[in-house]
Structure 1
Amino acid sequence: MVKRQGEVNYEVTPNPMEMHGDSIQISVNGSFPTKYFHKKVSATITPVIVYDGGTEEFKAFKLKGEDSEAEGTTISYEKGGSFSHTAKIPYKDGMQKATLELRASGEYKTKTKDLDPRKAADGTIITPKLVMAADKAIIGADKFEKFNLENNNVEIHYLVNNSVVRGSEMNDKDIKDLKSKLKGWKEDVKMEFNSLVVDAYASPEGEISKNENLANERAASAAKSIIALLKQHKIEIPEGFAKETGKGEDWEGFKKLMQESDIKDKELIIRVLEQYSDVTKREEEIKNLAATYQEVAKKVLPVLRRAQINLVMKHHNLTNDEIKTLVDTRIDSLDAEQMLYAATLYEDMAKKESIYKSFVSKFPNDWRGPNNLGYLYVSQNKLADAKTEFEKANAIESTPVVNNNLGVIARLNGDNATAKEYYGKASGAGKEVAENKGIINIIEGDYAAAVANYSGINSFNAALAKLLNGDNNIGQTIDNSADKDDALAYYLKAIAGARSGDKGMMVNNLKSATAKDASLKAKAKDDAEFIKYRDDAEFQAAVN
């Protein structure tokens, strides 16, 4: 056996070896020639990874001849035979620059003989370790509005078959109330006209065509009257901002008023009228009803002859400068939304922290205060402080946002299991949750799940997930991301070039990567992703 050991075929896959999750897994397949494996011989083969940190043994496997009483896969002496073995070991730093040896020893009766070690694989790909710690905490958003829209609703009623706005209508209580508001708005610099919406109707006892025209005319006359009122109070109206709509006859309004009335036989009246699919016939019957039931003529139909007017005013809230002034002078005068918004107006971290602490003091039952302090501390890498604040926020209210942020802290502290539990309770917090899950997916070697979580997202990690999942077309994902100019972004594209056999893409991106970060030259030299190019002159020029 020793003399013919070179005739034994071994193949290790993958070659180079690959790290996924926290492990290196290999498959060893091989075969023996005929009349090689003695019937009474047994053998133990141990895959051993050799690296600068020493050696690590994979689980050994055993083979035996047909008459051997030892354990293992039986190999025929006459026919030869094949074997396969799969094993896994934890990855350790330094194993990227390693070789795999198969060390075999044979045993015959009481004698043991070691065969020469066979080199079976060279290098370990550790590309998953490029994953960026781009964990994203989420801020508790403010609901501050630059302005509020205020609806001011009034009605103008008309005589039958008439579209003239009567003076008495312009002195009704709702119009008088509107006039009082207009006087105040005239002096209020924060009030601005936004829109005027007029919907006008006719009562349903007239002819269809006449009612449609009448409704249009009422919409126009009502809009004209309100615009005149606005001009009297020097409120300017941009051209085209008034929307006038004639709605025709109001059959639905008629039914509603009838149902709300105390008119005798109202249910019967409605059922009878609903039987008429011919609108003209129904109108005739309503006219007959009005003659028979005076309450219909006096209490229902007049109410339907109307224009409904909504004057929408824009009320401007505090300006950024006004808010900043109050931050420095009377921060307690700001409400919750204003105070949270105020923090977004500053780049200075100390100022933001001061505002959030004021928020916590004034609004102790609002989870956003401690959450946003924690968010601030994460950006400063003060993870212990951030965790404390997120836990305070969680005690107030366990929101999806807070659970995401606690997950970020757990992940950054190396506790992926706890991070996943928190992310499971963060649904609805935002797309950041999926991105955070994607980081753990890459670390654990679940690349398909990572690709799913990064769906629609352009980032370095999204591109890395695609590459690890077997898709080398990552250029667009990187080039459309905020990471596109990062040295590692070019390095990852170089790996994609090497994997797809595009040497030009590999070399050009390696040059760009090492120009931005010279330390990547040494990394590339040892990186098994480029192992087949190590002796290539263009590769050598790019990394030396």
Structure 2
Amino acid sequence: MKNILIYSILCFIAVLPVSAQKFYKDAINITNASLWQQGESLYINMQIDMRNLKVSNDRTLTLTPVLAGPNNNVALPEIVINGRRRQKAYLRAMALDKTTNMEIPYNTEEVLTYTQIVPYESWMENAHLDLEENLCGCGGHQEVLTQEMIMNGVSTEAKRLAALRPTSSFIQPKAEVVKARSEQYEAHLDFPVGKSVILPDFMNNQTELRNIREMFNKIQNDKKLTVTGVYIDGFASPEGPLKLNEQLSKSRAEALKKYLSTQEQIPTKLYNVSFGGENWEGLVQALEISNLKEKTEFLHIIRNTSDIALRKEEIKRVGGGIPYRTMLKELYPALRKVNCRIDYTIANFKVDEGKEIIKTQPQYLSLNEMYLVANSYPKGSDDFISVFDIAVRMYPNDEVANLNAAAVALSKKDLTDARKYLDKSNKQTAEYANNNGVYNLLSGNTAQAISEFTKAAQNGNEDARHNLAEIEKVMNMKRE
């Protein structure tokens, strides 16, 4: 006969409580059932109220808790309730049989706190707890009434860790004293050979000039912006004498300055003109993406011949000069360009202003202004999250923007985006270590998460200290 477990100590009814369930003709109530894994042990706990139970004089009711899985079953110590006459016979048998290890059955006038500890095995993660009810009578009569489920689901350390909501860290970006920005346009103006006068109706000049004017007008007409400088840099294609090309690149830049100063309302003193001379860098880039068979030979000459005049002669001789003539026609025109850049400053905005501007002109806000706007909303709200998503789109290579975007992604348990943003963050900060710890915890790598949190905590990160404390609660959580 199995030993009968009878515990009078109070035990902690942990997570996964089950409201009162009725068993055996609704005469037995089971409450506060739990299956709790801690370390290498599984704790089974429940309270069994049998005060309404009546067992016939000659009958014995045996209740056997069973831990059941898809391919495994473990029968736990049973509880025996005897009828009045069966109880007397039981006591006589116990008195006569000195070798039998028998215990007094459960007294139904009390509420039993049933606790059992068994070695934990991996299959138990998805196990459920059943109650097998057997009723026996005189003459060896036995009737198996039923096996009913008490509860389903084991609270494992892994599940409890996964249920944690670790705290991610944010960094407040530094405020910009002056919000300096710039817009640049690469104008491919067409000039007659050897000329530097801008002819608006010549070839594609009308379109190019219109694009430049639109850039100027957008900035000039926005009262939030103040122009601080206009920079024009001219280039020439590398055919013909070097000195002539240098002069052409300069005079073409001056021509654009003259044209713009008469068209736009920007003071002449804000213009800065320079010349880049022959556009060899542009030629290299054009060759690298071209389909010319001789491009490798051309690139070798450009990169290994420092004498410009000799370089031009060698280029002309490749393939008898035919490839060079192709370059003159297909690649060289785009090298005769003028770069135009407008520098400007943006006004600073208060939070209420920023909340409106971010909807239509987010590029006007600094990262610090976006951070303040985000934190004017409840943390974790849709508006809070949206601002940090906008920030990383506006500043895709900024380490702080990426760190904060990673924190938002982690709050949504979006591990793919979180990893992408973390990889573009400053890995030397305590905030990165904490957020990397959150990433590892959500990925199921608890040991690495603890290591990262510890590193961050040692560097003063309060979020990491909180996360470590939460993990410790789970790892050391005992059933009282």
Tell me the TM-score normalised to structure 2 length.
0.39
> Could you say which structure has the higher helix fraction?
1
Tell me the TM-score normalised to structure 1 length.
0.35
